[in-house]
Structure 1
Amino acid sequence: MSGPSPETKMQFLYALRSKGVTDARVLSAMEEIDRGPFIRGLFAERAYEDMPLPINCGQTISQPSVVGLMTQALQISPRDKVLEVGTGSGYQAAILSKLARRVYTIDRHRRLVHEAREIFEALDLTNVTAVTGDGSFGLPEQAPFDRIIVTAAAEDPPGPLLAQLKIGGIMVVPVGQSDAVQTLIRVRKSEDGLEYDELRPVRFVPLLEGLSREN
């Protein structure tokens, strides 16, 4: 699989920096993980543009600058165990795998999980586990998590996910009605409770309960 040209890669990284992705570790991970393999078919040639693109099962792959900003907001350390809710193409999980000790990613679409696993294997990302399931309930058998990232919008940060976050942990989640403006929220969990930061307006597909009927 041939990757992007050096010039394309430079433009890609410049676009990330210009949108506020400045963390050196995040930029390095996004330089290392080629977005190309995560986009198939008609839109493959647009893989290096800073835009969301359609993928299978009616879902989208987020624009790279949003992936970068969400990843940066998590402040991941190399020892962290991370849960991603909403595997989608697998691109976000692949970037997390370069920053964390262990990544668990869950999606309600079996087909997306299967396709993401194939890419993780091809890229030799051995610290990512992809699971088919209802992400709104998290992954209790692997909890607690140091960091949780949700790539679908909820009306409120989901209670089961907050319960699976360690004290001292951070969760990043888009919050808002699916057809209105959503806000990216960072939640920090401390002994005293939860602290919320509003980061920026975003648009994500809604977080749905249950497994997809295509399974």
Structure 2
Amino acid sequence: MEDTFKHKGLRQKLVNILKDKNIKSEAVLKAIGKVPRHLFMDSGFLDHAYQDKAFPIAANQTISQPYTVAFQSELLKVTQGDKILEIGTGCGYQTAVLCELKAKVYSIERQQELFKKTSKFLPKLGYRAKKLIFGDGYKGLVDEAPFDSIIVTAGAPFVPKPLLSQLKIGGRLVIPVGDDVQIMNLFIRKGQKEFEQHEYGEFRFVPLLENKN
């Protein structure tokens, strides 16, 4: 669990790459610069930890490309104390970035193997989400709603209605929608049944799985 000067230097290089790719939020760049991404990856991939690429993790999932994490985080416009629901905890890298942004994070994972591993791992690094839940991301987390924002970290074939309904007025849902290739979507809740939608180009995610429990 080492985080050396070399790792910190590589993170700074990664931050510079993200700046070149037009990530502007200083808070997001600072968060990416602080989270030790190499610790979230299997040891075989340590040499690749600070490249701007996605890599395989357990349960046929991936750790998202840093640019994607930064892009989605920037779209959320996180302010300190925001209550955020994350759909797809995965290895916890995006969760850690949200924690660095001083958000109150509630995160759902439906892969039991990943859920168990990440639930133990995040606190060891000092990242304490408000709640990590093993469950179905399509249903959201109605008991804790409404949320300031919701982030979906897997490709959804459609926009789940429960997620839209669990946003505060003014809340933001960032979700990649599509099958093989996804379009990054931002929904801003303007009223009880009124949403403003923006699209931000193509991304590739692993599929958002439904819970079969």
Q: Determine the C-alpha separation between the residues in 2 that align with 1:60 and 1:186.
A: 22
User: 1:109 maps to which residue?
Assistant: 111
User: 2:101 maps to which residue?
Assistant: 99
Q: Determine the C-alpha separation between the residues in 2 that align with 1:119 and 1:207.
A: 22
Give the TM-score, by structure 2 length: 0.93
1:184: how far off? Answer: 0.4
1:10: how far off? Answer: 2.3
Work out which of the residue numbers 122, 135, 148 in structure 1 matches 2:150.
148
Q: Name the stretch that deviates more: 126-135 or 154-163.
A: 126-135
State the superposition RMSD in angstroms.
Answer: 1.5
Q: Determine the C-alpha separation between the residues in 1 that align with 2:44 and 2:130.
A: 27
Tell me the SS of whatever aligns to 2:108.
Answer: strand
1:211: how far off? Answer: 4.1
User: 2:207 maps to which residue?
Assistant: 206
Amino acid at match of 1:73: L
Residue 13 (1) aligns with residue 15 (2): yes
Tell me the SS of whatever aligns to 1:58.
Answer: coil
Amino acid at match of 1:107: E
CA contact (8 A) 2:82 2:104 kept: yes
CA contact (8 A) 1:82 1:100 kept: no
Q: Determine the C-alpha separation between the residues in 2 that align with 1:20 and 1:211.
A: 39
Residue 189 (1) aligns with residue 202 (2): no
Tell me the SS of whatever aligns to 2:175.
Answer: strand
1:67-111 CA-to-partner distances (Å, cap 9, x unmatched) read 001000000111210000001110001110122441011010122
Give the TM-score, by structure 1 length: 0.92
Q: Determine the C-alpha separation between the residues in 1 that align with 2:87 and 2:60.
A: 17
User: 2:2 maps to which residue?
Assistant: 2
CA contact (8 A) 1:175 1:184 kept: yes
Q: For the structure 1 residues 128 and 98, does the alpha-carbon distance in structure 2 shift closer, same or farther, using more than 3 Å as the test? A: farther
Residue 64 (1) aligns with residue 66 (2): yes
CA contact (8 A) 1:157 1:175 kept: yes
CA contact (8 A) 2:122 2:128 kept: yes
- Count of residue pairs the alignment pairs up: 210
CA contact (8 A) 1:149 1:171 kept: yes
Q: Which runs of 5+ in 1 are unaligned?
A: none
Q: Determine the C-alpha separation between the residues in 1 that align with 2:131 and 2:47.
A: 28
Tell me the SS of whatever aligns to 1:8.
Answer: helix
Q: Determine the C-alpha separation between the residues in 2 that align with 1:169 and 1:104.
A: 15
1:18-41 CA-to-partner distances (Å, cap 9, x unmatched) read 122110011111111110111013
Identity in percent: 39
User: 2:89 maps to which residue?
Assistant: 87
Q: Which runs of 5+ in 2 are unaligned?
A: none
CA contact (8 A) 2:52 2:65 kept: yes
Q: Name the stretch that deviates more: 123-132 or 43-52.
A: 123-132
Q: For the structure 1 residues 128 and 20, does the alpha-carbon distance in structure 2 shift closer, same or farther, using more than 3 Å as the test? A: farther
1:134-158 CA-to-partner distances (Å, cap 9, x unmatched) read 1110111111111000011112221
Amino acid at match of 1:72: E
Q: Determine the C-alpha separation between the residues in 2 that align with 1:20 and 1:135.
A: 30
Q: For the structure 1 residues 101 and 13, does the alpha-carbon distance in structure 2 shift closer, same or farther, using more than 3 Å as the test? A: closer
Amino acid at match of 1:208: L
Residue 160 (1) aligns with residue 158 (2): no
